[in-house]
């Protein structure tokens, strides 16, 4: 059996670990799906590194974006003042899992229903002098168009039900706004954060530096985590105090706040903030030469925090979104996807003219100036590609691939044959090898059983010989009980089967049986 393995192993090894490349093609040898990082080098027969490696290279992981796009129509507007390229999409909101709403600069609403596969255009019936671009905010009942000094609502179930929000407060700056339950939160820079009670005719409450107990604030972004029916945790990105954590209780039209933590992370370099369902906080920062994201773990009960990971980004950052698996980084032309649970590096992908990204479920929604889109990202793993620029020679090269997985570092060595015929193992030969291998195993098992039985028989014979070689009295004690039982059985048989007459059934005293 060992001889069989010794003879067949080199053949199988050569067939499995060898690849063949012809002239005139760039051939993908294999993919390394589990690799998080990888490095490919050329080595010699002594496993020494060869500089200036040629012929093969490592193709980095890339993101494939497959999906659908919806172009902003112009013929449905019925407005002669709006012509091709005169209106541009600037924001997008996703409601549920199938309704996409895009906002244009001229206050039109581009609606896509993924279920019905229909598109419509609605108009916000108002005029407002635009000093800055508005934000489109979505809730379960309304869409709100929010400016720093003006807000307009629209009921998307009945588009005729729309109008101005009367109690909307005019602010110098308005950065990010979001609706949670029946409350509208809005970051307003140095003035703090506004909270509108939607069911109370947009009665407002301001969370400013006095109510928090700080000398100055500059709120730019935030995320909210709901603890109970009336209790919320507010994570705020402040340009003066870093990331802040505030405990909010909204009950009986009253807002109560308590500052839990401040000065989390760098204080002045924050760009955007987001949280996942596990309350990990992701914050994007910029310095003069770097853009990066830090993942924070915040312990509310112990009032402690720490950084979990840092992800360096090679381009400018506009915004960040996160779900349970990935972190989406919006740039200008190049964007990034990070599988943060595996501590992976940022994977770039290119989508030009993106105005806004929204990460929902396993899809990325967004808008360019003329399109709404829905894409589902697919990760193409590391690939080993090889080529040769001439067909005049046959060569062999040896390579070593080193890569990191979730279980640690691994490596693989393989040989590449250029301009050579592949070494093909016939299927019949493989069946022959398998049959011989199985027969070898069966023979080995049968031989082991025969060997065990033989050993037991020999041991039994040796034991009997040892007993018989003992002195007569000791050997009799060991052997005679067995002999006596056998003889006694014969005697009983003889007594019970003797043919006595009726008069001789009682034996006389001292009469011998034998």
Mean pLDDT across 399-411:
90
- Residue % of the chain over a pLDDT of 70: 83
pLDDT category of residue 423 using cuts at 50, 70 and 90: low
- The radius of gyration of the chain's CA atoms, rounded to the nearest angstrom, is 42
Q: Is the CB of residue 245 less than 8 Å from the CB of residue 238? A: no
Mean pLDDT across 277-282:
87
**Which range has the top average pLDDT, 301-305, 376-380, 496-500?**
301-305
Map residue 287 onto helix, strand or coil. coil
The 10 Å Cβ neighbour count of residue 508 is 6
Q: How far apart are CA 230 and CA 252, in angstroms?
A: 10
pLDDT of the residue at 389: 82
- 442-449: long-range pairs with CB below 8 Å, 24+: 443/1, 444/1
Query: Tens of pLDDT along 189-222?
Result: 999 999 999 989 999 999 999 999 999 999 999 9
Q: How far apart are CA 346 and CA 342, in angstroms?
A: 11
Q: Is the CB of residue 466 less than 8 Å from the CB of residue 460? A: no
* Structure letter (DSSP) for residue 293: E
pLDDT of the residue at 264: 95
Query: Tens of pLDDT along 25-46?
Result: 888 999 998 888 899 999 888 8
Asked if the model's pLDDT at residue 431 lies above 80, the reply is no
Mean pLDDT across 340-345:
81
Strand partners, 102: 92, 110
Q: How far apart are CA 206 and CA 224, in angstroms?
A: 16
Between 476 and 362, the more confident residue is 362
Strand partners, 242: 238
Burial of 298 (0-12, 13-18, 19+ CB in 10 A): buried
φ/ψ of residue 413, rounded to 5: -110, 145
Nearest CA to 138 among 90, 102, 174?
A: 102
* Structure letter (DSSP) for residue 5: H
Stated pTM of the model: 0.73
Mean pLDDT across 339-343:
84
| Look-up of token digits 């050993």 | 455
The 10 Å Cβ neighbour count of residue 274 is 23
CA dihedral sign of residues 163, 164, 165, 167: negative
Strand partners, 364: 359, 375
Q: Is the CB of residue 272 less than 8 Å from the CB of residue 284? A: yes
Nearest CA to 273 among 317, 226, 336, 337?
A: 317
Asked if the model's pLDDT at residue 52 lies above 50, the reply is yes
Q: How far apart are CA 277 and CA 357, in angstroms?
A: 19
Mean pLDDT across 330-335:
92
Q: How far apart are CA 381 and CA 388, in angstroms?
A: 23
pLDDT category of residue 176 using cuts at 50, 70 and 90: very high
The 10 Å Cβ neighbour count of residue 297 is 14
Query: Tens of pLDDT along 87-124?
Result: 889 999 998 888 899 998 888 889 999 888 888 888 88
Average pLDDT over the chain reads 82
Q: How far apart are CA 494 and CA 489, in angstroms?
A: 9
Mean pLDDT across 145-169:
90
pLDDT category of residue 498 using cuts at 50, 70 and 90: very low
CA 192 from centroid of its chain's CA atoms? 36
pLDDT of the residue at 390: 81
CA dihedral sign of residues 286, 287, 290, 295: negative
pLDDT category of residue 428 using cuts at 50, 70 and 90: low
* Residues found in the chain: 514
Q: How far apart are CA 107 and CA 13, in angstroms?
A: 67
Nearest CA to 36 among 57, 12, 55, 60?
A: 60
Number of helices (H), then strands (E), belonging to the chain: the values are 4, 36
Asked if the model's pLDDT at residue 158 lies above 90, the reply is no
pLDDT of the residue at 305: 95
> Residue 223: which H helix or E strand, with range?
strand 219-226
């Amino acid at each position: 059996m060992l001889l069989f393995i010794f003879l067949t192993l080199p053949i199988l090894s050569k067939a499995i670990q060898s690849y063949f490349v012809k002239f005139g093609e760039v051939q993908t040898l294999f993919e390394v799906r589990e690799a998080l990082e990888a490095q490919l080098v050329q080595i010699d027969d002594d496993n020494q590194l060869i500089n200036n490696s040629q012929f093969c290279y490592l193709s980095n992981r890339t993101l494939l974006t497959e999906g659908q796009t919806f172009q902003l129509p112009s013929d449905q507007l019925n407005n002669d003042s709006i012509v091709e390229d005169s209106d541009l999409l600037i924001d997008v909101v996703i409601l549920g899992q199938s309704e996409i709403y895009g906002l244009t600069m001229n206050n039109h609403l581009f609606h896509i229903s993924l279920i019905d596969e229909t598109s419509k255009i609605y108009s916000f019936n108002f005029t407002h002098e635009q000093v800055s671009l508005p934000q489109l905010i979505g809730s379960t009942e309304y869409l709100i168009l929010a400016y720093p000094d003006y807000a307009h609502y629209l009921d998307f179930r009945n588009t005729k039900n729309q109008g101005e929000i009367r109690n909307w407060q005019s602010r110098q700056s308005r950065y990010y706004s979001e609706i949670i339950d029946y409350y509208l939160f809005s970051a307003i820079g140095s003035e703090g954060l506004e909270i509108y009670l939607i069911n109370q005719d947009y009665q407002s409450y301001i969370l400013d530096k006095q109510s928090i107990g700080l000398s100055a604030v500059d709120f730019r972004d935030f995320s909210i985590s709901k603890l109970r029916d009336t209790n919320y945790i507010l994570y705020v990105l402040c340009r003066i105090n870093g990331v802040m954590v505030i405990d909010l209780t909204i009950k009986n039209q009253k807002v109560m706040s308590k500052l839990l933590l401040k000065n989390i992370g760098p204080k002045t370099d924050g760009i955007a903030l987001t949280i996942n369902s596990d309350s990990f906080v992701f914050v994007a920062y910029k310095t003069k030469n770097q853009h990066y994201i830090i993942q924070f773990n915040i312990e509310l009960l112990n009032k402690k925090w720490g950084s979990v990971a840092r992800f360096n980004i090679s381009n400018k950052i506009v915004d960040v979104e996160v779900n349970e698996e990935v972190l989406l980084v919006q740039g200008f032309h190049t964007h990034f996807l990070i599988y943060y649970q595996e501590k992976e590096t940022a994977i770039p992908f290119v989508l030009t003219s993106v105005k806004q990204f929204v990460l929902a479920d396993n899809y990325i929604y967004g808008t360019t100036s003329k399109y709404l889109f829905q894409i589902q990202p697919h990760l193409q793993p590391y690939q080993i590609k090889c080529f040769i620029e001439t067909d005049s020679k046959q060569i062999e090269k040896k390579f070593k691939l080193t890569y990191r997985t979730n279980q640690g570092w691994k490596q693989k060595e393989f040989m590449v044959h250029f301009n050579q015929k592949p070494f093909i193992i016939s299927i019949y030969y493989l069946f022959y090898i398998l049959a011989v291998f199985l027969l070898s195993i069966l023979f080995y098992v049968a031989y082991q059983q025969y060997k065990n039985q033989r050993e037991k028989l020999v041991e039994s014979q040796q034991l009997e010989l040892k007993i018989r070689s003992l002195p007569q009295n000791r050997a009799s004690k060991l052997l005679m009980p067995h002999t006596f039982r056998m003889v006694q059985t014969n005697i009983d048989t003889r007594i019970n089967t003797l043919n006595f007459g009726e008069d001789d059934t009682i034996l006389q005293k001292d009469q011998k049986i034998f």
